[in-house]
Amino acid sequence: MEKIKLEIIGLSYSQTQTGAYALVLGEEKGKRRLPIIIGNFEAQAIAIELEKMKPSRPLTHDVFKTFAETFDIRIVQVIIYNLVEGIFFAKLICHRGNQEVEIDARTSDAIALAVRFNCPIYTYEFVLSTAGIVLEDDTFSDEEQDENPEGVKVSVSSEKEGSRFGDLTLEELNTLLEEAIEEEDYEKASKIRDEINRRK
């Protein structure tokens, strides 16, 4: 199965879910974006490494990297290989000498390690076609950006989620999805997308 390379586009802070972020990945040669809801700790772990900040004490992912390097283990790629009921599944492809080992991991942890090992992130077409969102403009506009204490640029949600989407029609959901994408509210877009997928 052919793999599609992804890159980290940004972290969008959630205004509607305390302590949550939307990690936005994008296909390297395309306009599809993959928003993944992750926790605050994992978001900070990714952000700190992206911003090349040095924490006073090593984070869990830093300890794992030191441990792996001490025993000559390298993570050579991360693959987001499945999506089940809105949950992404990822694995680490590790090398030690001539041996290759696959290790199952939460997607947020896998990406936090990928940025530390400077290794590529991949997914498959069926994951992108199921959960991907097509954006015509992949930039985070300056007016909608804020910066958190960790130095991560985040897109602030401009509209609070008023209610659940269960009682809306598919046409209304698709309209809301387009609006959420235009507003760069990736968390809301992700929830609407999940509701649309559930009805298909």
More confident residue, 198 or 122: 122
- Whether 126 and 197 have beta carbons less than 8 Å apart is answered as no
- Which amino acid does the sequence have at 131? A
Structural domains in the chain? Answer: 3-158 (3.10.690.10)
Confidence of residue 168 (pLDDT cuts 50, 70, 90): confident
Which residue in this structure is represented by tokens 């997308």?
Answer: 193
- Whether 110 and 23 have beta carbons less than 8 Å apart is answered as no
Confidence of residue 197 (pLDDT cuts 50, 70, 90): confident
- Whether 113 and 106 have beta carbons less than 8 Å apart is answered as no
CA dihedral 125, 87, 146, 151 (to 10 degrees): -90
Confidence of residue 29 (pLDDT cuts 50, 70, 90): confident
Write out pLDDT tens, residues 152-166.
344 433 333 434 677
- pLDDT value, residue 174: 83
Q: Name beta bridge partners: 80.
A: 90, 123
CA distance 161 to 189: 11
- pLDDT value, residue 145: 41
- Is pLDDT at 138 greater than 60 in this prediction? no
- pLDDT value, residue 102: 96
Distance of CA 73 to the CA centre of its chain: 25
Q: How large is the average pLDDT for residues 29-52?
A: 87
- pLDDT value, residue 16: 56
- Whole-model pTM above 0.95? no
Q: Name beta bridge partners: 33.
A: 26, 133
The angle subtended at Cα 152 by Cα 150 and Cα 157, nearest 5°, is 115
